[in-house]
Amino acid sequence: MFIRIIPVGKIHQQILDAVQSELQDRLDAKCKLMDKQDVPDESYNQWRKQYNAEVVMNTISRSLSGKFIDKNIPTLILTDADLYYSGLNFVFGLEDPEKSTAIVSIARLKPEFYKERPDAKKLLDRIVKEVIHELGHHLGLDHCHNNYCVMCFSPSVQDVDIKDKSFCKECKIKMMTKGISTE
């Protein structure tokens, strides 16, 4: 599997390196790091003081239009923007199968967002879980009911912390039936 990674906003190289390494190890993915982009101004909602995840993905996808035609190669957008999506107060990530694009925000994955001391290890762990979760959707997996499976829906950061970086046995079987090997 090949994955394009686009940093949007301020994403430290340490995060990009860790994500690429984990995707290589866990999904046998080859990653191509694309040029950094700014968070699209039109995605900002001044009343919410957040960015619309769908608008960010659409704007970035349009900027790539014509450059990449293979929808089988997913694009992963990593951003520091605090995201929301239709009807939800916030989202850690979102995947759009039509555009073969996923977005993950690190804003609410940072311990300091919750008035905790910065913890790089905890942050990277959370980011990797959400990245693998969104790419799992790209690979055709739905949310899983197993609280420890990376595909479990996480409405809070505590739920992210509970789950593993791995797919449960049932999700692994679903992936194997599609010819995809994990770990």
Tell me what pLDDT residue 119 has.
97
Total residue length of the chain: 183
Domain residue extents for the chain: 2-139
Do 52 and 89 meet the contact criterion of CB atoms below 8 Å apart? no
Instruction: Note if the pTM is more than 0.95.
Output: no
Report CA-CA distances (Å) from 150 to 5, 60, 144, 167. 20, 26, 8, 5
Spatial distance between the Cα atoms of 6 and 15, rounded to a whole number of angstroms: 12
134 part of the active site: yes
Do 172 and 182 meet the contact criterion of CB atoms below 8 Å apart? yes
Q: What is the DSSP code string of 50-117?
A: EEEHHHHHHHHHHHHTTT---TTS-EEEEE-S-EEETTEEEESEEEETTTTEEEEE-GGGSGGGGTPP
Spatial distance between the Cα atoms of 58 and 31, rounded to a whole number of angstroms: 21
Tell me what pLDDT residue 62 has.
83
Spatial distance between the Cα atoms of 171 and 119, rounded to a whole number of angstroms: 30
Tell me what pLDDT residue 182 has.
65
Tell me what pLDDT residue 80 has.
97
Tell me the CATH number for domain 2-139.
3.40.390.10
Do 165 and 150 meet the contact criterion of CB atoms below 8 Å apart? yes
Tell me what pLDDT residue 70 has.
64
Using DSSP, state whether 136 is helix, strand or coil: helix
pLDDT in tens, the chain (183 residues): 899 999 999 999 999 999 999 999 988 899 999 999 999 999 999 999 999 999 999 999 888 766 655 667 889 999 999 999 988 899 999 999 888 899 999 999 999 999 999 999 999 999 999 999 999 998 899 999 999 999 999 999 999 999 999 999 999 999 888 777 765
Quick one: which of 153, 151, 145, 180 has its CA closest to 167? Answer: 151
Catalytic residue from among 116, 130, 134, 183: 134
